[in-house]
Chain A
Amino acid sequence: MTATDTRRAIQAVWRIESAKLIAGLMRLVRDLGTAEDLAQDALVAALERWPTSGIPDKPGAWLMATAKHRAIDVLRRSKRIEGKHEQLAREIEAAGDAAAPDLDAALDDDVGDDLLRLIFTACHPVLPTEARVALTLRVLGGLTTPEIARAFLSSEPTIAQRIVRAKRTLAESRVPFEVPRGLDRAARLSSVLEVIYLIFNEGYSATAGDDWMQPALCEEAMRLGRILAGLAPREPEVHGLVAVMEIQASRSRARTGPDGAPILLLDQDRSRWDQLLIRRGLAALERAESLARAPGPYALQAAIAACHARARTAAETNWARIAELYDALLGVTPSPVIELNRAVAVSMARGPAEALALVERLNADGALRNYHLLPSVRGDLLMKLGRREEARVEFEHAASLTKNRRERALLLERASACGATPA
């Protein structure tokens, strides 16, 4: 193996092992920041030794043993030698290899629990959302600071600081290291799902800059969702989220034209939709629906996405069903954006006039004042009603509101198309 090959192999091992490693260490040292630092130390040791010694048969166990030895050193050398540090060090030594998470460990439940605990901790609501996202990508995704910075069009120092602050906040807040149960669980789970879906959406529809999509981020989010589904298989909204992501991702090959311009869902070539992802997404949706009598917001969004996925052509779309699902969704999570989406479904099911009335109401509300899709939808409805000049104004306004270069170009094209005489 060349040095580059070995380095890549070590990085691959890191991607596979790091989350479990950090999770297991967190159980020992009771602090996410310390756990991550110890894990990084173990990685450094691996990068130093494995090029000559070769990658061990059980790399996870090697990393854990190395990290634990370091943990004992650190705890012993800690300036504030309070009794508990010495005690902790002794505990770790005494536990020996019994506490080492290992692929073959009979104590699979422990590893799962540790990982679940890590997920809940990284997504703790005491942290601001962007901190949760960065921390999750770091400790669960194994992404480096530069990778996270690139994904969110931020600078490395900003992300590095964000992660440092997040770890400090967690330590200072004395966040208890447990998997939330009972009353707390729903809210805590909701926070986790929000983080994962945020990562997905960042990849699916990049909010700024030139790239319409970042597939690697979508894949990362789906991976995290699937891991969570394996760890908490009886949570319907986890399966709901996985379903939404997989069905949406199934369209990625159809969403951009040859020059990178975006193609709207109704205009996409459905033969390019990934049937494997659709099949998986529909299966996840079924699981979600079988686990809860009343579908939650993710299951409902997945059901909407499933309506599109099941329609072989745009014309066969069951818009009435979609409008119903949006009604249900508004019942669980009222939001002006969802109301806008419902208006689109209503226009397809019952005509543009009724939909326009809904949109005018939204417009008057003012909540979507800076949201480019409101004037975009309004323009679309006005066009359908033959009010071309008003439509043009709306599209131009929409174009001015979006930061995404490609989206802006699409909207300006629609604006100029309003001026063209009908065929």
Chain B
Amino acid sequence: MRFMVIVRATKDSESGALPDMKILTEMGKFNEELAKAGVLLAAEGLQASSKGARVRFSGMKRSVIDGPFTETKELIAGFWLWQVKNLAEAIEWVKRCPNPFEGESEIEIRQVFEADDFGPALAPEVREQEERIRLQATRK
């Protein structure tokens, strides 16, 4: 099972200031533990939203909004992708994570969809395509 583990933004991460050296070192050690445990698939830090943008979808209309975005609560500062047995294991690992920021912060855990999760909800066009693929295989 895979999980995306998301570090929620704070005004510190949004300020663009580099994190404290001590935090960086401890985070590095934590990532090393994750890698040694065979759990870590990916890890990235995200730059402040002032360097980003949003694209809003409304019908066929697309509008671009430049960062920064003021609702810090809605933003993220970084993410990991982990391979663990279940949510409980993801939670245990997150508990061992050093606090990514001074003061309070939050890390969110979300399960990644696997192929079998889609089941009958697969869009009709996609199922049709797969049916075609399957028939091609049998015609050979």
Q: Which residues of A contact B (CB under 8 A)?
A: 5, 8-9, 11-13, 15-16, 103, 215-216, 219, 222-227, 230-231, 252-253, 256-258, 261, 263-264, 267-269, 272, 276, 280, 380, 383, 410, 413-414, 417, 420
Contact = CB atoms under 8 A, between A and B. Distances in A.
Contacts of A269: 129-130, 133
Contacts of A8: 86, 88
B35 A414 contact: no
A410 B137 contact: yes
B96 interface: yes
B138 A12 contact: no
Given A256-B115, A263-B137, A219 B88 contact: no
Contacts of B115: 252-253, 256, 272
B83 A12 contact: no
A9 B92 contact: yes
A227 B36 contact: yes
Nearest to B115: A253
A263 B138 contact: no
A257 B128 CA distance: 10
Interface centre among B35, B42, B92 (most CB of A within 10 A): B92
Interface residues of B, number: 33
B131 interface: yes
B6 to A, nearest CB: 16
A273 to B, nearest CB: 12
A12 B81 contact: no
A16 B89 contact: yes
A233 B72 CA distance: 41
A13 B96 CA distance: 11
Q: Which 3 A-B pairs have the closest CB atoms?
A: A226-B38, A223-B38, A8-B88
A393 B52 CA distance: 62
B39 A223 contact: yes
Nearest to B134: A257
Interface in B112-138: 114-115, 122, 127, 129-131, 133-134, 136-138
A417 B134 contact: no
A276 B41 contact: yes
Contacts of B86: 8, 12
Interface in B74-95: 81, 83, 85-86, 88-89, 91-93
Interface string B18-57: 0000000000000001011111011000000000000000
A258 B92 contact: no
B140 interface: yes
A224 B1 CA distance: 15
B130 A257 contact: yes
A138 to B, nearest CB: 15
A233 B78 CA distance: 28
A218 to B, nearest CB: 10
Given A257-B130, A263-B137, A219 B89 contact: no
Contact of A16 (B37, B41, B131): B37
B61 interface: no
10 contacts: A12-B88, A252-B115, A257-B130, A257-B131, A264-B137, A269-B130, A269-B133, A272-B115, A276-B42, A417-B138
Contacts of B114: 215, 253
A222 B2 CA distance: 13
B17 to A, nearest CB: 28
B91 to A, nearest CB: 7
Nearest to A257: B134
A36 to B, nearest CB: 19
A230 B129 contact: no
A9 B133 contact: no
Nearest to A115: B36
B138 A224 contact: no
A410 B114 CA distance: 24
A414 B138 contact: yes
A244 B83 CA distance: 18
B139 interface: yes
Contacts of A256: 115
B38 to A, nearest CB: 3
Given A219-B83, A267-B136, A230 B35 contact: yes
Contacts of B41: 276, 280
A12 B36 contact: no
Contacts of A414: 138, 140
Contacts of B93: 16
Interface centre among B33, B36, B114 (most CB of A within 10 A): B36
Contact of B137 (A219, A231, A267): A267
A253 B130 CA distance: 12
A268 B131 CA distance: 12
Given A222-B38, A267-B136, A12 B130 contact: no
Given A15-B89, A16-B93, A103-B96, A417 B130 contact: no
A146 to B, nearest CB: 15
Nearest to A104: B29
Contacts of A225: 38
Nearest to B114: A215
A222 B140 contact: no
Contact of A261 (B89, B122, B134): B134
